[in-house]
Amino acid sequence: MTIERSEAETVAYTVENRIAWVRFNRPEKRNCMSPKLNRQMMRVLDELEFRDDVGVLVLTGEGSAWSAGMDLKEYFRETEAQGLGATRQAQRESYGWWRRLRWYQKPTVAMVNGWCFGGGYGPLFSCDLAFASDDAIFGLSEINWGILPGGGASKVVADLMPLRQALYHAMMGENIDGKTAAEWGLVNESLPADQLKERVVAVCQVLLEKNPVALKATKDAIRRVKEMTYDNAEDYLVRAQEAANSFDNDGRKEGIRQFIDEKSYKPGLGAYDKSKQAQ
């Protein structure tokens, strides 16, 4: 199907009840990532990151795909034809928004509604949490067309999957469904397609109740400490906590007050009531 989308039309988004729903928007191309889409996604992330009416971001896809990975024509063939400079620029534009998303200010959730291939593993990993439809299909198809899983995809499976599954997945070029993706650690959960959105909304609602400064510090901490020794992690966490405290003294004090003095909640069983916090 020949649909010429403007750069701005390659990504769609809406904000409802403090949830930003960001959608890969090239369904006719199975939402594969072209240089245009990569540039537009960075603009959309910029636009949403510090908006007061956004508390959590969900990344999903229009149509039958989440994302069929990199655009083999526009990202690979056409940029390679323009030489190394263009190739490196296209890489920077895609890796750039994935990195931006990995360290995003707001919590992020991937809602994998369909096909998820190759380069798609980059943004999948960038999202803090991931939920898939049982009938979503995941694959490292690179081996099927003659390259290695680059653009971070090898790193993603090595980090998320047990080694045997990572090697099998990357070397065999066989696809897995949402259920297997959950078993192998690529996503948190897999659900029947008609329950996926409801579950993601419920997760977002929980996140929206949490202290936002603590959430940002927590998500960064988990990613950072993964590659540290225990002692380095301990030190990093002391400093990260102190830095978070200086951003949000009131929230933390209120959390302690409601537990210790008011006895109105238990941090082990739920979050404190943010509405009682003095603004």
Across-strand partners of 137? 177
Q: Does 72 participate in binding ligand COA (rule CB under 6 A)?
A: yes
Q: For residues 112 and 200, what is the distance between their CA atoms, to the nearest angstrom?
A: 10
Site for ligand COA in 37-66 (CB under 6 A): 64
| Cα atoms found within 13 Å of the Cα of residue 102, Cβ hemisphere only | 17
Q: Which of 104, 117, 125, 131 binds ligand COA (CB under 6 A)?
A: 117
Nearer to ligand COA, 30 or 106 (CB): 30
Told to check if 73 binds ligand COA by CB under 6 A, we report yes
Structure tokens at 236: 């990093």
69 binds ligand COA (CB under 6 A): yes
CB environment 36-57: b (16+ within 10 A), e (fewer)? bbbbbbbebbeebeeeeebbbb
CA torsion sign, 160 to 93 to 220 to 13? negative
Candidates 71-79, 87-95, 218-226, 271-279; binding stretch for ligand COA (CB under 6 A): 71-79
Residue closer to ligand COA by CB (options 112, 213) is 112
Nearer to ligand COA, 68 or 157 (CB): 68
112 exposure class (CB count in 10 Å sphere: 0-12, 13-18, 19+):
buried
Query: Judged by CB under 6 A, does residue 169 bind ligand COA?
Result: no
Contacts (Cβ under 8 Å, ≥6 apart) of 88: none
Total of residues contacting ligand COA (CB under 6 A): 17
| 86 vs 66: CA distance, rounded Å | 26
Distance of alpha carbon 80 from its chain centroid, rounded?
A: 28
Residues belonging to the chain:
279
115 binds ligand COA (CB under 6 A): yes
Which C-beta is closer to ligand COA: that of 69 or that of 251? 69
1 near ligand COA, judged by CB under 6 A: yes
Nearest to 56 by CA among 121, 124, 133, 128: 128
Which CB sits closer to ligand COA, 32 or 129? Answer: 32
Residues from 139 through 158 that contact ligand COA (CB under 6 A) = 141-142
Query: Which is nearer to ligand COA, 56 or 65 (by Cβ)?
Result: 65
Tokens of 76: 């690979």
Q: Which of 70, 111, 130, 187 binds ligand COA (CB under 6 A)?
A: 70
- Residue 73 or 253 with smaller CB distance to ligand COA: 73
Distance of closest approach, residue 98 Cβ to ligand COA, in angstroms? 13
The residues of the shown chain that bind ligand COA, judged by CB under 6 A, are 1, 29-30, 32, 64, 68-73, 115, 117-119, 141-142
